[in-house]
Amino acid sequence: MSSTTPFTVIIPARLASTRLPNKPLADIGGKPMIVRTAERAAQSGAAQVIVATDHAEILAVCAQHGIAARLTRSDHPSGTDRIAEVAAALGLAADAVVVNVQGDEPMIDPALIAATAAHITSQVPMATAAHAIHSAADAFNPNVVKVVLNQAGRALYFSRATIPWHRDGFAQSQQQLPADYLPLRHIGLYAYSNGFLQTYPTLAVSPLEQIEALEQLRVLWHGYPIAVHIAPAAPAPGVDTPEDLERVRSFFNT
């Protein structure tokens, strides 16, 4: 499927955040974070960008800045379920492409959104992204999610463990990566066909998903393929902590 295929970006946004209260409304250079993220996503060439939220305050802020938004139920277990509700309400066709962009990504690369969306086909209902890991610290960090691919560029497995395990190289040293070894870090950006997006909430939670605490393993467990776009470099990080917020603010204030 070519990169010219139309796609819709839906951005899930909850007001609650344990590490950064009211995160979507945090001011970044005079605009709330959710607005910055939506404006960035609009640069991807998306046919439409819509914020999916369970809070009236986020809805109001989006309206003030001309950002399309929809109010959703408040009991969704995940952002994927939230965007599925909005995609259904929009009446999108089953083969329409929907991209889930997290609301705390005000510096996301618009080209990465479009490139990931382009991987959706009639045979591959879900896509995500990854980039090469160059440091041993990241390779062995359980907070850095790794993915291994098959020859067609589809995900075989996602894990917090160091995969694939370089048997010979790591037997010699785990302080640096072997020269012939570039593991892949998963990037939390997802594209779906709308038909699959509506199916996803009906899939039973998988044991692997519970063990690794990785939602995307549910998809592999039930036998659906996930295409993986390889980005040429690591994307700008999202905002999870007050320190992250200050870093992003400094970027927009320069």
Question: Given this model, what pLDDT does residue 21 score?
Answer: 81
Question: Where exactly are the structural domains of the chain?
Answer: 7-249
* Closest to 36 measured CA to CA, from 238, 242, 243, 254: 238
What is the predicted pLDDT for the residue at 254?
64
Q: Which fold has domain 7-249?
A: Spore Coat Polysaccharide Biosynthesis Protein SpsA; Chain A (3.90.550)
Peptide linkage before 12 cis (omega within 30 of 0): no
CB-count burial class (<10 Å; 0-12, 13-18, 19+) for 201: middle
Instruction: Report the relative pairing of strands 7-13 and 48-53 from DSSP bridges.
Output: parallel
At residue 64, the pLDDT reads 97
Tokens 């609009």 sit on residue = 42
Q: What is the reported pLDDT for 4?
A: 66
Q: What is the per-residue pLDDT for 18? A: 67
Sign, CA torsion 166/189/220/210: positive
Residues 6+ apart with CB under 8 A from 73: 54, 82, 85
User: Which residues, listed in sequence order, are joined to residue 132 by a DSSP beta bridge?
Assistant: 184
| Amino acid 118: pLDDT | 98
Instruction: Give me the residues of the chain with pLDDT under 70, please.
Output: 1-4, 17-18, 254
* Tokens, residue 116: 């990931």
